[in-house]
Amino acid sequence: MSEQLSFVSPTANSPWGTYLSQVDRVVPYLGPLARWVETLKRPKRALIVDVPIEMDDGSIAHFEGYRVQHNMSRGPGKGGIRFHPDVTLEEVMALSAWMTIKTAAVNLPYGGAKGGIRVDPKKLSPQELEKVTRRYTSEIGIIIGPHTDIPAPDVNTNAQIMAWMMDTYSMNVGGTATGVVTGKPLHLGGSLGRVKATGRGVFVTGREAARRLGINLRGARIAVQGFGNVGSVAAELFAEAGAKIVAVQDHTGTIVNTNGLDLAKLVPISRTDGVVGFKAGGDIVPNEDFWNTPCDILIPAALEGQLTAERAQKTTAKLVLEGANGPTVPQADDILAERGVLVVPDVICNAGGVTVSYFEWVQDFSSFFWDEDEINVRLDRIMMNALNQIWDTADKHKITLRTATYAVACERILMARQERGLYP
């Protein structure tokens, strides 16, 4: 008998509600391990912190921060830090849980964790941003560490922010603890290939899924939502493979060009002005039109909950590659499955980032750094092995790739839980 969690009220399509329904779907495939499934439905530990800073104008501002360690049965917590004004504890819980599933799906020796601050970093000066980062790191410093929980970048956080986090943690413990975060600058223990790793993983899994579906990448039409680290890198790799990027949406709007957008021009402009800054290269259309732009492959790579039931009905894509975490609500998942649209789920599709984060952490501990070819060869091998195993599981049970990924991952997590036993 287990009580409901009192501190969240998930709805069917909210991030934690989505995650819970994904876990429920996998129970029939867990056999005797299903006895342990409740352990996946509650975070191991959730920390809420106050982050006060003195602003440039002398006023004092307070921001709410979180670090959630969902599960550590298979190893230390691992997961990014998000700076966004809409971050909530419930969202961070779901993101941390998806990290648990993801690290197990690609068989990395980690659990799952995630953090965030309710802040719009675009409204902060560089000094204010550094203060928010350092104070937050110090507050969550009681639960993170190279052997306990290792943060990384996520939406609106980057290598500079990781450098400040590493420095703050190091100052507090007295030493230089490069292994406490990943996604660091190269000369501070960062890894080659990390910046592009998530987009590369989306490409590697997407290329294999396209091959199995008989979609020729040369000339394939691709729509990408979110044109940041994940979306823009994936788009570039698909374009290099001969695909046409026909629609791109970011927080500034949507641009469409049925002949294919010129990424060499779009990418640099988008970094300063957003994708609508590239008016010369395509048509700016209403945001909702993004979802019915004719395409073969759809890559949601912005935020969770974007692919709703209505949008799932509209899309012409035959393949959805989830670059973002949790972009598809459960009802949309069912609609896509009914319509014969294949979804490569987030927990495998975007696992390239955490995989190279793992390489970075290993390199930091051994103080021996690999070249980029070695990183990419190892990354491609891990992603392909994981995808093939999941595909076999999906074929065996005649289930979606998402449920198959959860089946493979949950079995690993719950087996570890069972073997460790309950303390005390």
Q: How far apart are CA 2 and CA 391, in angstroms?
A: 33
Q: Please say which residue, 65 or 231, places its beta carbon nearer to ligand NAD.
A: 231
Q: Please say which residue, 296 or 304, places its beta carbon nearer to ligand NAD.
A: 304
Q: Which of 41, 44, 78, 114 is catalytic?
A: 114
Check: CB of residue 183 under 8 Å from CB of residue 159. Answer: yes
How many residues contact ligand NAD, by CB under 6 A?
Answer: 23
Residue from 20, 93, 106, 155 in contact with ligand NAD (CB under 6 A): 155
Residue from 39, 325, 355, 363 in contact with ligand NAD (CB under 6 A): 325
* Ramachandran category for residue 31: left, alpha or beta (phi over 0 → left; psi -120 to 50 → alpha): left
Residue from 41, 45, 251, 412 in contact with ligand NAD (CB under 6 A): 251
Q: What is the SS3 string spanning 132-149?
A: HHHHHHHHHCCCCECCCE
Strands 319-321 and 244-250: unpaired
Residue from 229, 257, 393, 405 in contact with ligand NAD (CB under 6 A): 229
Check: CB of residue 65 under 8 Å from CB of residue 115. Answer: yes
* DSSP-assigned beta bridge partners for residue 250: 253
261 contacts: CB under 8 Å, gap ≥ 6: 245, 246, 248, 255, 278, 281, 282
93 forms part of the interface with ligand NAD (CB under 6 A): no
Tell me if the bond preceding 424 is cis, omega within 30° of 0: yes
302 forms part of the interface with ligand NAD (CB under 6 A): yes
Residue from 154, 236, 360, 380 in contact with ligand NAD (CB under 6 A): 154
17 forms part of the interface with ligand NAD (CB under 6 A): no
Site string for ligand NAD, 168-207 (x = CB under 6 A): ------------------------------x---------
Site for ligand NAD in 353-382 (CB under 6 A): 353
Residue 158 CB, nearest approach to ligand NAD (Å): 8
249 forms part of the interface with ligand NAD (CB under 6 A): yes
305 forms part of the interface with ligand NAD (CB under 6 A): no
Classify each residue of 330-364 as buried b or exposed e, where b means 16 or more C-beta atoms within 10 Å of its C-beta. bbbbebbbeeebbbbbbbbbbbbbbbbbbbbbebb
101 forms part of the interface with ligand NAD (CB under 6 A): no
Q: How far apart are CA 130 and CA 184, in angstroms?
A: 15
Check: CB of residue 231 under 8 Å from CB of residue 301. Answer: yes
Known active-site residue 114 = yes
* DSSP-assigned beta bridge partners for residue 247: 223, 256
Residue 248 CB, nearest approach to ligand NAD (Å): 9
- Residues marked active site are found at 114
Q: Which residues bind ligand NAD (CB under 6 A)?
A: 153-156, 198, 225-231, 249-251, 301-303, 323-325, 350, 353
